[in-house]
A and B are shown apart, each in its own frame.
Chain A
């Protein structure tokens, strides 16, 4: 919440402009690449630009995310043992549901990232690899996967991780009593899962245990998305959870007080909601971890800079970037940065949700139905300037709906719609929106008042929304702004399908999944297609993107390029800003990287001296 609440917050005092975490499009279930140390390897890790020198601002005080490395420059030799302090930046305590099968929300997943991991890891383009705790082989038709768990992969209590455990995780998630958020489209894609969930079958027919360490899963549909996060890869320890009723699992001490995993560190003690102390898991399958101890504690966004300067924490999960410009020269840390898998956007309400049919119903008479009006509103706002002034260049003008965090799929040649307020006025004039006094009227001469809602959170949220209102006013549009907190905002945008008809335009943000398939956000049958836009061309492209033909990457690239063009032409929503994620790291930390496919693992993280560096 500012205000956090509005901390959120209350708050309060927020990390980022919007509660992106809660608005996550990841079609990868619990597979969120843990925001903590990167969990995945890749040979082709991006080369880091020289230097330990901090990324410098240019003379206007602007930064560019491409100047940041995602890997820490090692200084000094690793110490044997030592301990590391990790700051979980959050204005609320973490919920403490410490199991991949049950958790919801980023804070818990950051806690999980240190002591547990999935069976598969992925590379820089988010495709599953064979260097994780298990390897996989796909059948000819791409529907059947055979997984083999490595022999030396064990739970923290020494019991081997078995195929049975992996199956058990599926059985728990599919169980009618299951109370977590993982029963999703990935789950229902498993053959026999829905029958099992509805109680029509005792077992999941698509999952077969072939041996202690071997599992075979058959999926209904083979799509390119399947190998970019479409598989459930987290086993659940059956020797521990087997006797607990499913309904009681998420509240059990085995989840909350003495959680178990297979990761490089094991949980030693927990202060609920506040901190966790991890000890080294010497038996870790990749090898012995470098540190003796890791201490994770929740740090309020308003304290994070102080804690970093004093060495109270060595690394943080998610640094609030609005605090970066004032602290870019902090002497005891190195700043790492990557392009965030997220974008901020402005959406136009173009129809309604038909709950019965489960699809959107575009309304040709909607107030925002005229594409010229929407285009003019895009042309009227100078997002380049917004990024530079509000975010010192760490957020920047967005052009298409696939962000540059997916460099192959993001169409950099598509300029989107560029800032041109004069052009916007002209466009409106030609489309019949004539000036009548200060403001324009509809083509039929009646009054035009546009209702715009935006979310509170962070101190920039409100001035940013005001800026948009002003920009629209400058081209003669009368826009009313209402700032709403998260719940009210989504309630009115229509997260239950009951859209508030008084909302015409809204500003929100999506954090996108590791797969680019936009069906969940822009498909005809997607509840979260809040603009309620649909067209046959859109349907076709979305279907093509995950068709069998799309296994051919060149074809898939072409399809999504076309889709990005379509969205720039139709403008049901327009992206405003792309975002970067920053991570300060104390100079004593070695072998640390953020982002995906870096080829560096959690167990390698080390420190070069006992005490953290303190800022001068």
Chain B
């Protein structure tokens, strides 16, 4: 799957005209989201789910949720268990909340880490150009051609003491490349702009130009990419967990819950175990994508609505 295997996610990443530069990135983004009803609803939904999940998981007794109860195996939904129980007698609703929190956390952390690394490398590479650029892009190119899914699975199998930290780091190691490449191409364009030349002549330091002048101009494209990546990372985590190469087995996650559906009896007779998680993944990814698209429209003046 394209969106599972790379970060270059869809045609939106195709180079187009550089971003509109007049109002600041964030305010356009916000205006666009508010104006686009679907995006607004999506944004509210994502925010609500996130808030709900993080707040509720603080209130829930996690030990109680992951406690195996031999007398409550595979119970259908009831007033006691809102979404029934799994094959270990554990409350699905509680697992869904903790699982969503875990999946979201991983996705957010990975998105942020890859964003930071990608932006830094891309900026440095694009701004300085020349040998540094050449060198960095060689490295990026090499990693980009790796068959992502296979290498990640091989890594996950090879790592001793595999756990959540290792999982996050492995994902990060392979996912910053797309952003780096994108930011580099933008930075290359910015470098030629007059304002950069002007700052140079007036004696500003490279660091200052890069982070105070160039970076803000790229903010909208960074937000777009990171938003779309967040959705892709949720999908990636759940996909890997589904194949058995994601979260450790005893940690609830959205992918783990869906993977229970690989047992045909569960798939057929116990929808409450896997369906809520599947729907949640779908809704989250759809909404985050919608927000991302709206943001993207903001960055692309020609398509801006009203």
Q: Size band of the B side of the interface?
A: 20 to 34
Chain B residues within an 8 Å CB radius of A316: none
Taking A462-B249, A466-B88 as contacts, is the C-beta distance between A326 and B265 under 8 angstroms? yes
Taking A1-B244, A456-B249, A470-B67 as contacts, is the C-beta distance between A463 and B264 under 8 angstroms? no
B87 at interface, CB cutoff 8 A: yes
Q: Quick check: A305 and B250 within 8 Å, CB to CB?
A: no
B90 at interface, CB cutoff 8 A: yes
Q: Quick check: A5 and B73 within 8 Å, CB to CB?
A: no
Q: Quick check: B250 and A12 within 8 Å, CB to CB?
A: no
B243 at interface, CB cutoff 8 A: yes
A222 at interface, CB cutoff 8 A: no
Q: Shortest distance in angstroms between A153's beta carbon and chain B's nearest beta carbon?
A: 43
Partner pick for B260 among A2, A303, A481, CB 8 A cutoff: A2
Q: Please, which residue of chain B has its CB at the minimum distance from the CB of A385?
A: B70
Q: Give Cα A9 to B265, complex, Å.
A: 18
Q: Give Cα A3 to B265, complex, Å.
A: 15
Q: Please, which residue of chain A has its CB at the minimum distance from the CB of B87?
A: A459
Chain A residues within an 8 Å CB radius of B68: 463-464, 466-467, 470
Contact pattern, B 233-262, Cβ under 8 Å of A = 1, otherwise 0:
000000000011000111000000001101
Contact pattern, A 425-467, Cβ under 8 Å of B = 1, otherwise 0:
0000000000000000000000000000000100111111011
Taking A463-B87, A483-B250 as contacts, is the C-beta distance between A305 and B264 under 8 angstroms? yes
Q: Give Cα A3 to B255, complex, Å.
A: 11
Q: Please, which residue of chain A has its CB at the minimum distance from the CB of B263?
A: A459
Q: Quick check: B249 and A3 within 8 Å, CB to CB?
A: yes
Q: Give Cα A355 to B266, complex, Å.
A: 46
Q: Quick check: A481 and B244 within 8 Å, CB to CB?
A: no
Partner pick for A483 among B89, B248, B259, B262, CB 8 A cutoff: B248
A323 at interface, CB cutoff 8 A: yes
Q: Shortest distance in angstroms between B264's beta carbon and chain A's nearest beta carbon?
A: 5
Q: Quick check: A2 and B88 within 8 Å, CB to CB?
A: no
Taking A12-B262, A305-B264 as contacts, is the C-beta distance between A6 and B90 under 8 angstroms? no
B113 at interface, CB cutoff 8 A: no
Q: Interface majority SS on B: helix, strand, loop or mixed? A: loop
Q: Give Cα A117 to B243, complex, Å.
A: 38
A4 at interface, CB cutoff 8 A: yes
Q: Quick check: B265 and A6 within 8 Å, CB to CB?
A: no
Q: Quick check: B73 and A2 within 8 Å, CB to CB?
A: no
Q: Quick check: B244 and A12 within 8 Å, CB to CB?
A: yes
Chain B residues within an 8 Å CB radius of A7: 244
B71 at interface, CB cutoff 8 A: yes
In this complex, which of A460, A461, A463 has the most chain B Cβ atoms within 10 angstroms of its Cβ? A463
Q: Shortest distance in angstroms between B127's beta carbon and chain A's nearest beta carbon?
A: 45
Q: Shortest distance in angstroms between B242's beta carbon and chain A's nearest beta carbon?
A: 8
Q: Shortest distance in angstroms between B138's beta carbon and chain A's nearest beta carbon?
A: 35
Q: Quick check: A389 and B70 within 8 Å, CB to CB?
A: yes
Taking A2-B244, A2-B260, A3-B259 as contacts, is the C-beta distance between A323 and B265 under 8 angstroms? yes
Taking A3-B243, A6-B244 as contacts, is the C-beta distance between A460 and B250 under 8 angstroms? no
Q: Quick check: A389 and B244 within 8 Å, CB to CB?
A: no
B40 at interface, CB cutoff 8 A: no
Which 8 residue pairs are nearest across A and B when measured between Cβ atoms? A463-B88, A3-B244, A389-B70, A6-B244, A1-B244, A467-B68, A483-B249, A466-B68
User: Which residues of A are at the interface with B, using a C-beta cutoff of 8 A?
Assistant: 1-7, 9-13, 302-303, 305-306, 322-323, 326-327, 385-386, 389-390, 456, 459-464, 466-467, 470, 481, 483, 485
Could you jot down 18 A-B contacts, CB within 8 Å?
A2-B260, A2-B262, A3-B243, A3-B262, A6-B244, A12-B244, A305-B264, A305-B265, A323-B263, A323-B264, A323-B265, A327-B265, A390-B87, A459-B266, A461-B249, A464-B68, A466-B66, A467-B68
